[in-house]
C-alpha cells in the first residue's frame, strides 16, 4: 500500500510514546547500573541508547514520511519474498538451536537486555509499516505480542537459573533452590503478594478493556465464514495442524495425545535428578523434547497462525498486504497418486464395477499399500530399531512397555513436523487416503 502518509500521521503519536518508553526504560536501567557501580561501561551505553531513542521518538512524532524511522522498503520486500512457512519453521528451529547452544552467553543480563532492546527497536521500525501495524496492533493480536515477550522472559529466567545450577552442581554445590532463601511464609507474605498482584492485574485488565475494545463482528451465520477465519489465539496452533491432516487426526487424535503424553511424562521419566530445581545438563533429553514440543510445535505455530496466515489461510509475509486475491499454487497429491500414477505410470487400482465389499476393501488396501507400508514401518519398525541403536540405554532402564509408549508418543509428535515438511517440499497431501471411510493420514 502506498497511501502511507495518512497512516503515518495516525501512528505517529503511538510510535513517539513507544520510543519515549524505550528511552525511559533504558535511562532507568542505566541509572540502576550506575548506582550499582559494577558496570559503568554498560551504564553509559544504555544512557546513550536512551538518548538515541529520544531522537527516534521526536522523529516519529513528526509523522512525516521522510522522517519517521522505518525499515527501508527494499528490506521489507526482501523479507516478504523470502518468507514462507518452510523458511519460518527452519528459521525458528535454527534460532532455538542457537539460543540453546549458546545459552551460557544469552543468560547474561546484559546480553539479554541487548537482545530485548534490539527486538523492541525492530518492532518499532516495523510498525511504521502499514501492513505490519494492521496485524500486530489488532486488538485480538496484542496479547500474542505480549505472549512472545513474556515467554521469552520466563524462559530466560528459568534458563539462567538452570545454568547457574548446572555450574553449582559441577562444583559439587547444591542447587540454588535448595538454599531456602527464596521461600516465604504463606501468611502474610505470600497472601499479601497475591492480593497486591490481584489488584494490579485487575486494574491492568480494566485499562486494557477500555483502550482495546473487543473486535465485534456481524451476527454469526452458518453460510458466512469470515476470511480469514481464525480460532481463538490459543488454538491457532491446532488450526495450523489441521492444514496438514485430516480433522480426526489433527483435531482429535493429536490433541488427545498431547494431553495423554503430558500426563504420562512423570511415569515415563526415570531420571531422578532435576527434581525441584532448574537444570538443563542433568536432564538434557527431557528438556529438549519438551522445549521442542512446546516452542516449535505449539508457540511458533500460534505465532504463524496469528501473524502470517491471511485470507484463504495463505501465507503472507510480515509486511505484505492481506489481499484475498493472492494466488498461491498449492496443488497437492496423495501418495497413492504419486506412487501408482506418477511413478509406475499406471492407473490407480480400482475395484471393478459392482464388486463385493470385500473385493473393494482389498483394492483399497492395494491402492494404499505404499502409504500403509511407510506408516507401518514408521510406527512399528522404528521403535525397536531405535531401541537397539540410539535409545539402547533408555530401553534398558525403562523396560519394554514404558519404552514403547515413549517411543510411540515421540514418533507421533514428530509426525507433525515431518508431515508439514512433506507438504511443503513434495506437495504431499496424505500418505494414506481412504475417503471412502473418511480415513486419511
Partner 1 sequence: MAERKKMSVSEILAAARAQAGGGEAAAPAVEPAGGGAADAVDSAADTPVVEKPAAKAAPKPTAGGARPSVADIMAMARANKAAADAPAQSPTKSAPKPTAKPAEKPAAAKAAKPVAAKAAVARDTASILAAARAGAKPGPVSKADAPPRPAKPAAVKPAVAADHAAKPAAAKAVPPRPAKPAAKKSDSEEDRRGFLEIALGSFMALGFTALSVTGGLFSLGLARFFFPNVLAEPPSRFKVGFKEGFPAGKVETKFVAQYGVWVVNSDVAGEQQIYALKTVCTHLGCTPNWLEAEQKFKCPCHGSGFYKDGVNFEGPAPRPLERYAIRISDDGQLEVDKSKTFQEELGQWAESESYVTV
Residue ranges that bind partner 1, judged by CB under 8 A: 180-181, 183-185, 187-188, 221-229, 239, 242-247, 250-251, 311-314, 324-325, 327, 329-332, 429-430, 433, 435-436, 438, 440
The set of cell numbers assigned to 82 is 523470502
Least Å distance, CB 139 to partner 1, is: 20
d(CA 316, CA 300): 15
Tell me how far, at minimum, the Cβ of 351 lies from partner 1, in Å. Answer: 10
Question: Which residue is listed with cell 508431515?
Answer: 419
Count of all residues that appear for the chain in the document = 441
C-alpha 327: how far from its chain's center? 26
- CB contact set of 384 (below 8 Å; sequence gap of 6+): none
Measure the CA–CA gap between 254 and 256, rounded to whole angstroms. 5
Contact 351, 363 (CB under 8 A): yes
Q: Which is nearer to partner 1, 155 or 332 (CB)?
A: 332
Residue 1 or 223 having the CB closest to partner 1: 223
Torsion of CA 77, 78, 81, 86, to 10 degrees: -140
Cα–Cα distance list, 24 to 12, 54, 101, 116 (Å): 18, 9, 33, 15
- Rg, C-alpha atoms of the chain: 26
Between 22 and 250, CB nearer to partner 1: 250
Q: What are phi and psi of 323, to 5 degrees?
A: -90, 135
Residue closer to partner 1, measured from CB, 171 or 331: 331
- Least Å distance, CB 34 to partner 1, is 20
Give the nearest distance from C-beta 123 to partner 1 in angstroms. Answer: 28
- 415 exposure class (CB count in 10 Å sphere: 0-12, 13-18, 19+): buried
Residue 439's H or E segment, with its range, is strand 439-440
What's the closest the beta carbon of residue 433 comes to partner 1, in angstroms? 7
Q: Closest separation between CB of residue 110 and partner 1, Å?
A: 19
Contacts of 258 (CB under 8 A, 6+ apart): 293
Q: Which is nearer to partner 1, 425 or 438 (CB)?
A: 438
User: Which SS3 state, helix, strand or coil, does residue 433 take?
Assistant: strand
State which residue, 185 or 210, has the beta carbon closest to partner 1: 185
Whole-angstrom distance, CA of residue 427 vs CA of residue 243: 12
Query: How far apart (Å, rounded) are the C-alpha atoms in residues 156 and 161?
Result: 9
In whole angstroms, what is the distance from residue 117 CA to residue 300 CA?
21
Q: Which lies closer to partner 1 via its Cβ, residue 24 or residue 86?
A: 86
Please give the grid coordinates belonging to residue 419: 508431515
CB 70 within 8 A of CB 123: no
Shortest Å distance, C-beta 314 to partner 1: 6
Decide: 407 and 397 in contact? Cβ < 8 Å: no
Angle between helices 85-101 and 392-426 (to 10 degrees): 150
Q: How far is residue 271's CA from residue 274's CA, in Å, rounded to a whole number?
A: 8
Q: What are phi and psi of 243, to 5 degrees?
A: -70, -25
| Shortest distance, position 312 Cβ to partner 1, whole Å | 5
- Of 5 and 226, the one with the shorter C-beta distance to partner 1 is 226
Question: Measured from the CB of residue 228, what is the shortest distance to partner 1 in angstroms?
Answer: 5
Cβ distance to partner 1 smaller for residue 101 or 179: 179
CB of 379 to partner 1, least distance (A): 21
**Shortest Å, Cβ 316 to partner 1:** 12
In the bound state with partner 1, the residue whose beta carbon lies nearer, of 51 and 251, is: 251
- Measured from the CB atom, is 224 or 273 closer to partner 1? 224
Amino acid at each position: 500500500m502506498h497511501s502511507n502518509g495518512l497512516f503515518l500521521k495516525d501512528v505517529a503519536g503511538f510510535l513517539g510514546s513507544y520510543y519515549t518508553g524505550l528511552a525511559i526504560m533504558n535511562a532507568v536501567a542505566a541509572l540502576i547500573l550506575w548506582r550499582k557501580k559494577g558496570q559503568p561501561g554498560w551504564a553509559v551505553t544504555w544512557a546513550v541508547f536512551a538518548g538515541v531513542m529520544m531522537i527516534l521518538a521526536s522523529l516519529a512524532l513528526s509523522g512525516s514520511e521522510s522522517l519517521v524511522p522505518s525499515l527501508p522498503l527494499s528490506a521489507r520486500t526482501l523479507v516478504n519474498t523470502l518468507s514462507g512457512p518452510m523458511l519460518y519453521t527452519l528459521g525458528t528451529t535454527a534460532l532455538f538451536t542457537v539460543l540453546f547452544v549458546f545459552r551460557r552467553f544469552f543468560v547474561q543480563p546484559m546480553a539479554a537486555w541487548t537482545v530485548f532492546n534490539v527486538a523492541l527497536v525492530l518492532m518499532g521500525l516495523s510498525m511504521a509499516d502499514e501492513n505490519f501495524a494492521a496485524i500486530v496492533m489488532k486488538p485480538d493480536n496484542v496479547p500474542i505480542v505480549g505472549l512472545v515477550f513474556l515467554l521469552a522472559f520466563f524462559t530466560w529466567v528459568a534458563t539462567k537459573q538452570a545454568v547457574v545450577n548446572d555450574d553449582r552442581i559441577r562444583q559439587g554445590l547444591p542447587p540454588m533452590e535448595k538454599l531456602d532463601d527464596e521461600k516465604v511464609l504463606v501468611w502474610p507474605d505470600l497472601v499479601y503478594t497475591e492480593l497486591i498482584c490481584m489488584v494490579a492485574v485487575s486494574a491492568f485488565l480494566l485499562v486494557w478493556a477500555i483502550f482495546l475494545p473487543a473486535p465485534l463482528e456481524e451476527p454469526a451465520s452458518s453460510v458466512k465464514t469470515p476470511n480469514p477465519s481464525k480460532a481463538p489465539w490459543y488454538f491457532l496452533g491446532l488450526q495450523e495442524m489441521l492444514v496438514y491432516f485430516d480433522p480426526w487426526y489433527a483435531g482429535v487424535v493429536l490433541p488427545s495425545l498431547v494431553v495423554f503424553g503430558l500426563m504420562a511424562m512423570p511415569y515415563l521419566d526415570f531420571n531422578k535428578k532435576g527434581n525441584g530445581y532448574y537444570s538443563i545438563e542433568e536432564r538434557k533429553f527431557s528438556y529438549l523434547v519438551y522445549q521442542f514440543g512446546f516452542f516449535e510445535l505449539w508457540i511458533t505455530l500460534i505465532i504463524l497462525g496469528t501473524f502470517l496466515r491471511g485470507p484463504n489461510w495463505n501465507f503472507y509475509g510480515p509486511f505484505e498486504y492481506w489481499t484475498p486475491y493472492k494466488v498461491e499454487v498449492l496443488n497437492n497429491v496423495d501418495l497413492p497418486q504419486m506412487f501408482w500414477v506418477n511413478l509406475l505410470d499406471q492407473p490407480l487400482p480400482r475395484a471393478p464395477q459392482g464388486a463385493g465389499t470385500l473385493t473393494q476393501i482389498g483394492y483399497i488396501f492395494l491402492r494404499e499399500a505404499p502409504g500403509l507400508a511407510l506408516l507401518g514401518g514408521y510406527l512399528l519398525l522404528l521403535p525397536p530399531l531405535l531401541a537397539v541403536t540410539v535409545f539402547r540405554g533408555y530401553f534398558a532402564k525403562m523396560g519394554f512397555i514404558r519404552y514403547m509408549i515413549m517411543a510411540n508418543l515421540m514418533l507421533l509428535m514428530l509426525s507433525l513436523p515431518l508431515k508439514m515438511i512433506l507438504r511443503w517440499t513434495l506437495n504431499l497431501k496424505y500418505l494414506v487416503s481412504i475417503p471412502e471411510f473418511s480415513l486419511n493420514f
